[in-house]
């Protein structure tokens, strides 16, 4: 099993937490090799990550990517996101040629069960597999030329046929797609992947990339926002909510922020406490916002249209402010 992460030093402790959970929950696997696409990971962080791998007797390969901006043919505008988010686009050339399949994980994930079934998923003629994100802003899909009923996928967990990726010159196509839009994409790398691989992404069960705020969404509401989500049976969605295999702490309610009420925060705290980053204090300064955000979680369940209105109005405002 080949696992890939991409990280800068600021996310090192979250990467360590995710990696520890991965090893812990997949101890029966004969081989697991983790490849880290590093964007300036410090020597201390690298040593701590190696300590985790050695604890489980697993292989760890750290590949320094350097300044990613130098890999683009023109000036890069990531819309306020750290450029390390673009690291996954270079997965084909960064990894050894003999590797034909990889599972990419965002650093802000925690693994809670075996990933064998996910790893063995038949991608058929698709280049990759991913989990649908029906709550994406309509403006994002419009920019990509996607109809509102079409699927849009989250890039936090990607099962990639790396052989097909290379044969289809994915890296060049992804970079060209991104640069042609001059930094206007709101979710840079994720939008790029959705745009280039439209129709070539296999839908995966939401349990393999369960967004923590989806705990408060009703299934019918998600289908109403993106009809393609009907491909996910309601009972599968319910099981994913109750027993996620991979938790993805996307959104603002992060478990490392002081005052957060994330329902799944204990999983992150449990594994963080086992890493060399144990005892790291939570980030302070947003306690009031965390309380308001959690109130919006309950509003999502009680009155979904109100949640969508607030999210689209203020969410887009946050994105535009980030780009300035």
Residue numbers of the domain that contains 227: 2-251
**195-235 per-position pLDDT tens digit:** 999 999 999 999 999 999 999 999 999 999 999 999 999 99
289 lies in some domain:
no
State the total domains in the chain.
Answer: 1
DSSP for 210-249 reads EEGGGGGS-HHHHHHH-GGGGGS-HHHHHHHHHS-SEEE-
149 lies in some domain:
yes
Strand pairing report for 101-105 and 2-7: parallel
305 lies in some domain:
no
Whether 322 has a pLDDT exceeding 60, the answer reads: no
75 lies in some domain:
yes
216 lies in some domain:
yes
Structure tokens given for 233: 């049976």
In the prediction, which pLDDT does 92 show?
95
Whether 16 has a pLDDT exceeding 60, the answer reads: yes
pTM across the whole model: 0.94
CB 127 within 8 A of CB 168: yes
The CA angle 308-305-216, to the nearest 5 degrees, is 75
Whether 177 has a pLDDT exceeding 80, the answer reads: yes
278 lies in some domain:
no
Dihedral angle, C-alpha 161, 162, 167, 173, nearest 10 °: 100
Domain of 8, CATH number, reads: 3.90.550.10
265 lies in some domain:
no
268 lies in some domain:
no
Quick one: residue 260, left, alpha or beta (phi over 0 = left, psi -120 to 50 = alpha)?
A: beta
């Amino acid at each position: 099993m080949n696992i890939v992460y991409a990280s800068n030093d600021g996310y090192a402790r979250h990467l360590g937490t995710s990696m520890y959970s991965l090893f812990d929950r997949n101890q029966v696997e004969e081989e697991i090799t983790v490849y880290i696409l590093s964007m300036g990971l410090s020597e201390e962080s690298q040593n701590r990550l190696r300590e985790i791998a050695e604890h489980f007797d697993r292989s760890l390969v750290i590949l320094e990517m350097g300044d990613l901006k130098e890999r683009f043919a023109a000036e890069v505008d990531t819309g306020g996101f750290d450029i390390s988010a673009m690291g996954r686009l270079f997965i084909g050339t960064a990894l050894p040629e003999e590797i034909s399949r990889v599972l990419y994980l965002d650093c802000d994930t925690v693994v809670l069960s075996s990933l064998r079934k996910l790893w063995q998923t038949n991608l058929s003629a698709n280049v990759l597999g991913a989990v649908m994100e029906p709550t994406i802003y309509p403006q994002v899909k419009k920019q990509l030329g996607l109809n509102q009923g079409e699927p849009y996928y989250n890039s936090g967990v990607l099962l990639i046929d790396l052989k097909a990726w290379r044969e289809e010159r994915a890296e060049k196509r992804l970079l060209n797609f991104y640069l042609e839009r001059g930094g206007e994409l709101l979710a840079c790398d994720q939008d790029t992947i959705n745009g280039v691989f439209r129709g070539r992404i296999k839908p995966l069960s939401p349990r393999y990339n369960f967004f923590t705020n989806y705990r408060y969404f009703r299934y019918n509401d998600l289908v109403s926002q993106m009809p393609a989500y009907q491909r996910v049976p309601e009972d599968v969605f319910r099981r994913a909510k109750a027993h996620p295999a991979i938790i993805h702490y996307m959104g603002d309610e992060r478990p490392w922020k002081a005052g957060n009420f994330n329902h799944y925060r204990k999983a992150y705290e449990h594994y963080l406490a086992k890493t060399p980053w144990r005892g790291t204090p939570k980030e302070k300064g947003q306690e009031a916002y965390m309380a308001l955000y959690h109130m919006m979680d309950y509003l999502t369940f009680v009155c979904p249209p109100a949640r969508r209105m607030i999210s689209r109005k203020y969410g887009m405002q946050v994105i535009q402010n980030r780009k300035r």
